[in-house]
């Protein structure tokens, strides 16, 4: 039997055997990638160049944009390259790297979304204590803790996965290296050693979700006391899209990990993979920044300054 010491590559899922559909997949995924790339880079640039946006809220937004850039850059480029070149191969080291980085960015993203919910809670529910609670040192420590949590969890989860002996197959039924699909490949029942890692991930995800929900329940209670309907509408229009993305990220990820395993390719697996790997990095710039007047004003000034200097 072959094992992980002799395995040199994996075979990823091909969207279609029809060349025209492969090109369509290449175009669609490339457009999604460029949209996410442009949106997040504009946010980072606008905040970095505007001293008025050097606040905790925008500090966390920059971190979120960096995470989104990393997350989507781990999965899409390899997929579109495979469609363009009509291949499905990813090397063993490439798969390990993809799993590690994707877990790192996703876990850190979830931790950061929890911190951002807490920041909004303090902003709306305890405005008089905001500067004391969300001071610069506290913000840096919270962001650093999110990154460290992501790194540690990703390293442990990736290490536990790739120490398993793969002897069933090297075909991954997903467009990127995904742990739930990799756990279908080990010999016999050796995948049971990964149950602990999955349980920890689900536990952390649900804890983050509960903390976010508690924060927003307090926010909604405070907002409902606002006499102005316009103020209520503004608060709800900002908070509800955030909750939608959080719900999408957490529950599609949990579904992917806890769904009963099957050795055959599933269209549902593909849809779930797209939902939690591609949608949040594209939606976050729209939800958190493009609807923000300060960000839009900063981007407008940046574009006008660029046009003026070119002229």
Chunked into runs of 10 residues, the chain (311 residues) has average pLDDT values of 62 81 88 91 84 84 92 91 87 93 92 91 87 90 94 90 79 86 72 68 84 88 75 68 78 74 64 84 77 70 66 56
Q: Residue 54 CA to chain centroid, in angstroms?
A: 24
Give the per-residue pLDDT at 16: 74
Residues 217, 222, 223, 224: is their CA dihedral positive or negative? positive
Closest CA to 273 of 288, 285, 259, 263: 259
Please tell me the distance from the alpha carbon of residue 102 to that of residue 148, in angstroms, as a whole number: 15
Closest CA to 116 of 136, 133, 139: 139
| 245, 287 Cβ separation under 8 angstroms | yes
Give the per-residue pLDDT at 189: 59
Give the per-residue pLDDT at 192: 61
Instruction: Let me know if 202 is exposed, middle or buried by CB neighbors in 10 A (0-12, 13-18, 19+).
Output: middle
Please tell me the distance from the alpha carbon of residue 81 to that of residue 263, in angstroms, as a whole number: 26
* Residue ranges of E strands in the chain: 9-11, 89-91
Give the per-residue pLDDT at 87: 86
Helix (H, G, I), strand (E, B) or coil at 206: helix
Please tell me the distance from the alpha carbon of residue 110 to that of residue 213, in angstroms, as a whole number: 13
Please tell me the distance from the alpha carbon of residue 22 to that of residue 86, in angstroms, as a whole number: 8
Q: CA distances (Å), 232 to each of 120, 163, 203, 248, in order?
A: 15, 52, 33, 24
Q: CA distances (Å), 311 to each of 42, 62, 257, 305, 306, in order?
A: 21, 30, 54, 10, 9
Give the per-residue pLDDT at 63: 93
Give the per-residue pLDDT at 3: 44
Domains along the chain with CATH numbers? 9-310 (1.20.1070.10)
Q: Taking the model in full, what pTM does it have?
A: 0.86
* Element containing residue 233 per DSSP (H, E): helix 229-258
Total count of residues recorded for the chain: 311
| 108, 201 Cβ separation under 8 angstroms | no
Give the per-residue pLDDT at 278: 87
**Phi, psi at residue 164, to the nearest 5°?**
-75, 145
């Amino acid at each position: 039997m072959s094992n992980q010491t002799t395995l040199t590559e994996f075979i990823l899922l091909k969207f279609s055997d029809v060349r025209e559909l492969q090109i369509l997949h290449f175009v669609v995924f490339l457009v999604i990638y460029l949209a996410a790339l442009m949106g997040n880079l504009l946010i980072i640039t606008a905040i970095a160049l505007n001293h008025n946006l050097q606040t905790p809220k925008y500090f966390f937004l920059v971190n979120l944009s960096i995470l989104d850039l990393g997350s989507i850059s781990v999965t899409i480029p390899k997929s579109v390259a495979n469609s363009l070149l009509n291949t499905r191969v990813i090397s063993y080291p490439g798969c390990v790297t993809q799993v590690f980085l994707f877990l790192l960015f996703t876990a850190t993203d979830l931790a950061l979304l929890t911190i951002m919910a807490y920041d909004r809670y303090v902003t709306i529910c305890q405005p008089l204590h905001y500067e004391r609670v969300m001071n610069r040192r506290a913000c840096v420590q919270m962001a650093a803790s999110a990154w460290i949590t992501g790194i540690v969890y990703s390293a442990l989860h990736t290490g536990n996965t790739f120490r398993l002996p793969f002897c069933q197959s090297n075909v991954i039924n997903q467009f990127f290296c995904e742990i739930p699909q990799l756990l279908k490949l080990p010999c016999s029942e050796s995948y049971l050693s990964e149950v602990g890692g999955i349980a920890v991930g689900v536990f952390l995800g649900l804890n983050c979700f509960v903390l976010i929900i508690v924060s927003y329940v307090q926010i909604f209670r405070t907002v409902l006391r606002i006499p102005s309907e316009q103020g209520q509408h503004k608060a709800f229009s900002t908070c509800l899209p955030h909750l939608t993305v959080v719900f999408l990220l957490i529950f599609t990820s949990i579904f992917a990990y806890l769904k009963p395993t099957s050795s055959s390719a599933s269209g549902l697996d593909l849809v779930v993979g797209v939902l939690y790997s591609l949608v949040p990095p594209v939606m976050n710039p729209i939800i958190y920044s493009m609807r923000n007047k300060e960000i839009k004003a900063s981007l407008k000034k940046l574009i006008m300054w660029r046009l003026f200097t070119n002229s």
